[in-house]
Structure 1
Amino acid sequence: MIGVAAPEYDPAAPQSATTLPVGTPATVRAYVGQLLRRHRKAFALLIGVNAIAVISSMVGPYLLGGIVEDLSDDVQDLHLGRTAALFAGALVVQTVFVRLVRLRGGMLGEEMLADLREDFLVRSVGLPPGVLERAGTGDLLSRITTDIDRLANAMREAVPQLAIGVVWALLLMGALGVTAPPLALAVLVALPLLVAGCRWYFRRAPSAYRSEAAGYAAVAAVLAETVDAGRTVEAHRLGERRIALSDRRITEWTAWERYTLWLRSVLFPVINLTHTTILLAVLMIGGTFVLNDWLTVGQLTTGAMLAMMMVEPVGLILRWYDELQVAQVSLARLVGVRDIEPDAGDAEVHPDGRDVEAAGVRFGYREGVDVLHQVSLSVAPGTRLALVGPSGAGKSTLGRLLAGIYAPREGRVTLGEAELSRMPAERVREHVALVNQEHHVFVGSLRDNLLLARQGAGDAELWAALGAVDADGWARALDDGLGTEVGSGGLSLTPAQAQQIALARLVLADPHTLVLDEATSLLDPRAARHLERSLARVLDGRTVVAIAHRLHTAHDADVIAVVENGRISELGSHDALVEADGAYAALWRSWHG
C-alpha cells in the first residue's frame, strides 16, 4: 500500500509565504520548550492524573486474568464478590480521573493557546514599521486567522492528548513487561510495519502541509487585493483576469489539499494493520508459550487485554501527531516573526536638535533594484518642504525614509545628527510622525480613537484638536458627541471624516516633525485647501515634509524638491523654480492648464 502512486498535484504551488518569514525548526523547538516551561506545573499535573487513570484501567485485566488462572487451576472459591467490588472501585477511580484528565488537558490547551495569541500579537506590533508596511495583507491575515484556527485544535487537543497517549502507552508496555515479558516482545513484531509506514508519511507530510498553508495564504492575498482594489478592477475591466488568477491560486491550493488527504489515506490503513498484527502476534506467540508451559493462561489473558488496550494510545499518538504536523506548519508561520530582528534601536542614541538630513541615500524594496539613488537633502527646523514629481519617482519612499519607517541601504538619514535607523521606533514617533491616505477607525468611541494619540488628554483638548482640522462641526452634531461609538458595528464614518480623525490625532500627538503623504487626498479640492490652511496655523513652527500631489501645496511651501527617477533634480522655492523653467515649471504649467 505504501507504494501506491500519488495523485497529481501542481508543483508550481507556492512553497512558502514570501513576505514574512517562516520559523526555522530551531525557532519552533525553542518556542515549544518555552511554552512547556511556562506551564510545567499544569503539564506535570496532567501527567499525574493521567497516570492514575491509566493504572486504574489496568485493574480489570489483572482481575480477569486472575479469575481465568483460578478457573484453569480448578479453584472453587473465586471470591467474585470481592473481585466485583475491586473492579467497581477501580472503575469509579478511572471515571473520576479520566474526567480530570479531560478537564486539565482542556485548561492547559486553552492557556497555551492564549499565550501563543498574545505572544504573536506583541511580537507583530513590535516589528520594524517597514516590515509591517511591506507585509502582504493576505499573508498577515492568514497567519492571524487561519493559522491560529488550525493551532486552536492542536493546542486544545493535540498537545494534551499526545502527552496522555505517550504516558498511557509507556505504562501499558511496562505493565505488559511485568505481567508477561514474552508478550511485550510480541508487541514489537508490529513495530517495523508501523515505523516503515510512519517514516514514509512523515518524510512527505511536513513539506506538503507547508505548501498547503502557503497556497491558502496566496488565495487570501489574491482575494484581499481584489476586494481592496474593487473599484480599480471594475474601472479597468480586470474582473476576468482577477477571477482567472483566483481560480489558479485556488486550484494550486486544493491540489495540495488533495495530496495531504492522500497521504493520510495511506497512513491510516497502515495503523489499522499494525493493530491487527499486534493482537495476532500476542495470541499466536502467547498461545505457543502457554502450550509449552512457559506462560500461564491467566498471564496470557491479562497480556492479551493489555495488548488490546495498546491500540487506543498508539492510535491516539499517531492521530494527534498527524494533527501536530499541520499545527507545526502554522506554528512555524506564527513564530516566524521571532526570526525578524526587533526594532530595538540603540537606547543611547538621542537627537541633538531638529535638523532632518539625508546623505547619500540609496534604497530599494528588492535586492539589487534601487528606488532612490544617492539622494541628499537637508531640512532645517520649521521648514515646510514639498516633494513633487511624477508618479513612481520615489516621493513617498523618500518620505518614509525621512519618517524613519525604512532604513536606507546606503547612506544616512538623521534627526539632530542621530540616525533614525538606530533609534527605537517609540522614540522616533516622539519626534517624527507620518500621516498618509490610509486611515483606520478603531472600534470604540470617538474619544477612544483620539486618545490613541495622547492618553490622558481632556475633552477640551480633544475638541480643540477636532476644531483644528475642521471636524468639530460634524462631531458636535453626533448624538453622544465624543462618546459616540464608531467603527465596525457603530457609526460608519466617511473616508473624509476618518482622515480628519487621523489629522486630529496628529495635532494631539504634537510631534515637531511631520511627513504628510496625501494626507488630505480623500477630501475634495476646496475642502482640502481649507483644511490645509487651518492646519498651517496649528503646525506653525514645526518641520513639515509634504508629498505634494496637488501643486497648491507646493506653492505654499518654503522649499520644493523635485524628485525624478529616484533623484532630486531641482531644489528651491516656488518662484525660483518657475523662473528656472525646468521640470517643476513644466508641472506647474500643466497643473494650471
Structure 2
Amino acid sequence: MIGLAPPEYDPAAPRSATTLPVAGPATVRAYVRELLRRHRTAFTVLVVVNSVAVLASMAGPYLLGSVVDRLAAGEGAARLERTLLLFAAALAVQTVFVRLVRLRGAMLGEEMLADLREDFLVRSVRLPPGVLERAGTGDLLSRISTDIDRLGEAMRQAVPQLAIGVVWAGLLLGGLAVTAPPLALAALVAAPLLVAGCRWYFRRAPAAYRSEAAGYAAVAAALTETVDGGRTVEAHRLGARRVALSDRRIVQWVAWERYTLALRSVFFPVVSLTHVTVLVSVLLIGGALVLDGRLDVGQLTTGALLAQMLVDPIAIILRWYDELQVAQVSLARLVGVREIEPEAGDGSVRPDGREVRADDVRFGYREGVDVLHRVSLEVPPGTRLALVGPSGAGKSTLGRLLAGIYAPGSGRVTLGAAELARMPAERVREHVALVNQEHHVFVGSLRDNLLLARSGAGDGELWAALGAVGADGWARALADGLDTEVGSGGRALTPAQAQQVALARLVLADPHTLVLDEATSLLDPRAARHLERSLARVLDGRTVVAIAHRLHTAHDADLIAVVEGGRITELGGHDALVAAGGAYASLWRSWHGER
C-alpha cells in the first residue's frame, strides 16, 4: 500500500481548472449545510422512517434468539406460533417502511439535485460577464455535463443512502449492546483495521479524483477547441500538433483513472476482511462466553445475526462515502462559482447624462499583455460611431469596455460622468446594451424569447419590434405565430432569423446607448443593408457604437474611429478620413477594389 504512487503531473493535464475556481473545503461544507437546512424536514422524515425499518429488521434476530432459548428450555409449540406471528408482523412493517425509505430517499435526492442545478445556474448568470466570456469552453462544458452527471448519482443515492447506513449501523450496534454487551465489544475488534484502511484510502482519494476530473476537463478543452477551430487548424496545418496534444492529455487522464482504480483495488479487500473479522470475532468470543456460562445460546444467536447484519450498513457507508469522494470534487467545481463575488457595484452611482467617454484606458486579457493602450474617446449623445480596423486590432474589446462588459485595467469608462465599472450590472443594462455576433434562441415560444427583453410587452409591441427588424414576414408565416415553439425540439430558426430575434429584443429593451458588434454579420449583404435601413429608424436619436467589418456601416456613421494595434489612430467623418488618405482611406479603397 505504501508504494502505490500517483502518476506524474503533466502541463497538458493541469490539476485544476485555470479559469473558474474550485471551491475549498470550507465553501463546500457551508453549501452542504445550507442544503441540509433547506431540506431538514424531508431529512428528518427519512431518518425516522429508516429507524422504524431498521428496528423492524432487528426483530427477526431477537425473536430467533428467543426461539432458541425456548427450545433449549423445552417449551411447547404454542409459544413458537406466537413468535412466528410476531416475526411475520415485523417483516410486514419492515417491508412497508423499507419501501418508504427508498421513496423518501429518492425524493430527497432529486430535490437536492434540483436545488444544486438551480443554484449553479443562478450564480453563474450573476457572475461578471467578462468572467464567463473568458472561461474555457472545455472547463465549462465538463462542469455542466460531467460534474452534474456525477453529482446526480450522489444526490439521488449517496446522501440518502449514507443517512440510512449511519442510522442502520448505529441501531444495530445499540441492539447488540442491549442484547449481549460483550458481543458489542467483540464487533469493534475490526475497527482498527477499518480505520487504518479508511485513513490510507481517503488521504489519497480526494486529490486523485480531483486530478482525474481536471484531466478530463483538459481532454474536453483540447477536443472542443480543435473542433471549434477546425478550419484554422487545417489552414495552418496544425493537425498533428493538436492530435499530439490530445493524446498527451488523454494519456494523463487515463493514468489518473488507473491510479484511482488501484486505490479502490486495495481499499475494497480491506473492507471485506473487516466484515469477516467482525463475524469471526463475535463467534469466537461469544462461543467462549457461552462455554463459560456468561452468555446463553439465544444471546449468541441474536448477536451473531446482528453482527452479520452490520455488513450491509457498513458496506453502504463505505461505498457511498467513496462515491461522495468523486461527487465532492464535482461539487467543489460547481460550488466554485460561489467564490467569485458578483459585481454588486455601488447603488448610489447613477449616470447624469448620456455621453460615453473612455479616458486613458488600458486593458488586457492576461496580466502584463495589453490589448488596448491608453485609448481615449468621446461619444456625444445621439452619435453613431463606427469602430473599424484590421482583425485583432481591439475593436470588439473596446466595444465591450464601452458596453460595461469588461472593466478597464487602468483609466475610466464613463456614461454621463458615472463610471461603468462602479455601477451595478443591472443598472448598466438599463442604459447600455450589447448585441454581438452570437445569438441564442431559447427553448420555448417565439413570444417567450421576445419577452426576455421586456416581460410586460403586449402582442402589438412584439409584432412592432419584429417589423422594425424585418422579421414580421416569416414570423407571421409560422403555424402558431408568436406561440410557435422555437429552439431545440421546436421550429429551427436560421442564423439570420436568430439574429433578427436578438435585434427585436434590442428594440423592446429600448436602451439609449447601443453597442453593435457586427450585429448583421449573419445576413447576406443585401438583407443586411435592408435591415440596417430598418434599424436606422429605430436607432434614430440613440447613441450607437457599431463595430464595423463591412465598411458601408462606417460610411453611414457620424464618426469613425480607426483602431490599429490597440490604439485609435484616426478619428473623424467618412469624407474627411477618405480625403486624409490614411489608414481608413486605404481600407475604403480596398473595400471597393481600388488600388
Q: TM-score, normalised by structure 2?
A: 0.94
Aligned equivalents of 2:7 and 2:337: distance in 1? 33
Measure how far apart 1:454 and its partner are: 2.1
> Residue type matched to 1:129 in 2?
P
Measure how far apart 1:343 and its partner are: 2.6
1:265 aligns to 2:270 (yes or no)? no
> Residue type matched to 1:117 in 2?
R
What is the total number of aligned residue pairs between the two structures? 592
1:217 corresponds in structure 2 to 217
CA distance 1:49–1:443, change in 2 (3 Å): closer
Q: Do the aligned partners of 2:6 and 2:256 also contact (CA within 8 Å) in 1? A: no
1:316 corresponds in structure 2 to 316
**Secondary structure of the residue that 1:354 maps to in structure 2?**
coil
2:173 corresponds in structure 1 to 173
Measure how far apart 1:7 and its partner are: 8.1
Which 10-residue stretch deviates more, 134-143 or 89-98?
A: 134-143
Residues 150-190 of structure 1: per-residue CA shift (max 9 Å, x gap): 11111111101101111111111112222222222212221
Aligned equivalents of 2:56 and 2:481: distance in 1? 65
1:519 aligns to 2:503 (yes or no)? no
2:572 corresponds in structure 1 to 572
Measure how far apart 1:134 and its partner are: 1.5
Aligned equivalents of 1:480 and 1:42: distance in 2? 43
> Residue type matched to 2:363 in 1?
F
Residues 304-345 of structure 1: per-residue CA shift (max 9 Å, x gap): 111111111111100010111111111111111111101322
Name structure 1 gaps, 5 residues minimum.
Answer: none
Q: Do the aligned partners of 1:9 and 1:256 also contact (CA within 8 Å) in 2? A: no
1:441 corresponds in structure 2 to 441
Measure how far apart 1:112 and its partner are: 1.0
Aligned equivalents of 2:434 and 2:235: distance in 1? 30
1:488 corresponds in structure 2 to 488
Aligned equivalents of 1:29 and 1:516: distance in 2? 44
> Residue type matched to 1:207 in 2?
A
Q: Do the aligned partners of 2:61 and 2:301 also contact (CA within 8 Å) in 1? A: yes
2:352 corresponds in structure 1 to 352
The aligned runs of 1:285-296 (5 Å cut-off) are 285-296=285-296
1:302 corresponds in structure 2 to 302
> Residue type matched to 1:407 in 2?
A
Measure how far apart 1:232 and its partner are: 4.3
Q: Do the aligned partners of 2:53 and 2:97 also contact (CA within 8 Å) in 1? A: yes
Aligned equivalents of 1:390 and 1:423: distance in 2? 32
Measure how far apart 1:527 and its partner are: 2.8
**Secondary structure of the residue that 1:21 maps to in structure 2?**
coil
Aligned equivalents of 1:488 and 1:583: distance in 2? 44
1:139 corresponds in structure 2 to 139
Residues 17-42 of structure 1: per-residue CA shift (max 9 Å, x gap): 22211111111111110111111111
CA distance 1:103–1:507, change in 2 (3 Å): same
**Secondary structure of the residue that 1:412 maps to in structure 2?**
strand
The aligned runs of 1:157-196 (5 Å cut-off) are 157-196=157-196
Q: Do the aligned partners of 2:7 and 2:256 also contact (CA within 8 Å) in 1? A: no
> Residue type matched to 1:352 in 2?
D
> Residue type matched to 2:264 in 1?
R
Aligned equivalents of 2:249 and 2:10: distance in 1? 12
**Secondary structure of the residue that 1:110 maps to in structure 2?**
helix
Which 10-residue stretch deviates more, 439-448 or 145-154?
A: 439-448
Aligned equivalents of 1:34 and 1:7: distance in 2? 34
The aligned runs of 1:385-534 (5 Å cut-off) are 385-534=385-534
CA distance 1:92–1:445, change in 2 (3 Å): closer
1:84 corresponds in structure 2 to 84
Measure how far apart 1:453 and its partner are: 1.9
Measure how far apart 1:10 and its partner are: 6.1
**Secondary structure of the residue that 1:191 maps to in structure 2?**
helix
> Residue type matched to 1:160 in 2?
P
1:336 aligns to 2:336 (yes or no)? yes
Which 10-residue stretch deviates more, 46-55 or 566-575?
A: 566-575
Measure how far apart 1:8 and its partner are: 5.7
Which 10-residue stretch deviates more, 198-207 or 138-147?
A: 138-147
Measure how far apart 1:15 and its partner are: 1.2
Measure how far apart 1:238 and its partner are: 4.7
C-alpha RMSD of the superposition? 2.2
Q: Do the aligned partners of 2:16 and 2:211 also contact (CA within 8 Å) in 1? A: yes
1:109 corresponds in structure 2 to 109
**Secondary structure of the residue that 1:516 maps to in structure 2?**
strand
Measure how far apart 1:230 and its partner are: 4.1
CA distance 1:291–1:78, change in 2 (3 Å): farther
Measure how far apart 1:11 and its partner are: 4.7
CA distance 1:8–1:34, change in 2 (3 Å): closer
The aligned runs of 1:529-544 (5 Å cut-off) are 529-544=529-544
**Secondary structure of the residue that 1:489 maps to in structure 2?**
coil
Aligned equivalents of 1:517 and 1:50: distance in 2? 59
Q: Do the aligned partners of 1:362 and 1:370 also contact (CA within 8 Å) in 2? A: yes
Aligned equivalents of 2:342 and 2:414: distance in 1? 20
1:48 corresponds in structure 2 to 48
Q: Do the aligned partners of 1:514 and 1:544 also contact (CA within 8 Å) in 2? A: yes
The aligned runs of 1:214-253 (5 Å cut-off) are 214-234=214-234, 238-253=238-253
Aligned equivalents of 1:77 and 1:475: distance in 2? 84
Aligned equivalents of 2:29 and 2:290: distance in 1? 47
Measure how far apart 1:562 and its partner are: 2.0
Aligned equivalents of 1:108 and 1:530: distance in 2? 55
Measure how far apart 1:222 and its partner are: 3.1
Residues 109-136 of structure 1: per-residue CA shift (max 9 Å, x gap): 1111111111111111121111121122
Measure how far apart 1:408 and its partner are: 1.4
Which 10-residue stretch deviates more, 152-161 or 530-539?
A: 530-539
Aligned equivalents of 2:10 and 2:84: distance in 1? 61
Aligned equivalents of 2:239 and 2:470: distance in 1? 39
CA distance 1:510–1:85, change in 2 (3 Å): same
Identical aligned residues as a percent: 80
Aligned equivalents of 2:2 and 2:86: distance in 1? 49
Aligned equivalents of 2:96 and 2:457: distance in 1? 55
Aligned equivalents of 2:581 and 2:532: distance in 1? 27
Measure how far apart 1:458 and its partner are: 3.1
1:202 corresponds in structure 2 to 202
**Secondary structure of the residue that 1:562 maps to in structure 2?**
strand
**Secondary structure of the residue that 1:456 maps to in structure 2?**
coil
CA distance 1:532–1:61, change in 2 (3 Å): same
> Residue type matched to 2:263 in 1?
L
Measure how far apart 1:479 and its partner are: 4.1
**Secondary structure of the residue that 1:79 maps to in structure 2?**
helix
Measure how far apart 1:462 and its partner are: 2.6
Measure how far apart 1:377 and its partner are: 1.6
Aligned equivalents of 1:239 and 1:475: distance in 2? 43
**Secondary structure of the residue that 2:378 maps to in structure 1?**
strand
Measure how far apart 1:137 and its partner are: 2.7
Which 10-residue stretch deviates more, 574-583 or 102-111?
A: 574-583
> Residue type matched to 1:403 in 2?
A
Aligned equivalents of 2:49 and 2:501: distance in 1? 55
Aligned equivalents of 2:481 and 2:113: distance in 1? 39
> Residue type matched to 1:258 in 2?
R
Residues 225-273 of structure 1: per-residue CA shift (max 9 Å, x gap): 3443444445555555444443433333233222222221211111100
Aligned equivalents of 1:491 and 1:183: distance in 2? 69
Q: Do the aligned partners of 2:142 and 2:220 also contact (CA within 8 Å) in 1? A: yes
Which 10-residue stretch deviates more, 292-301 or 425-434?
A: 292-301
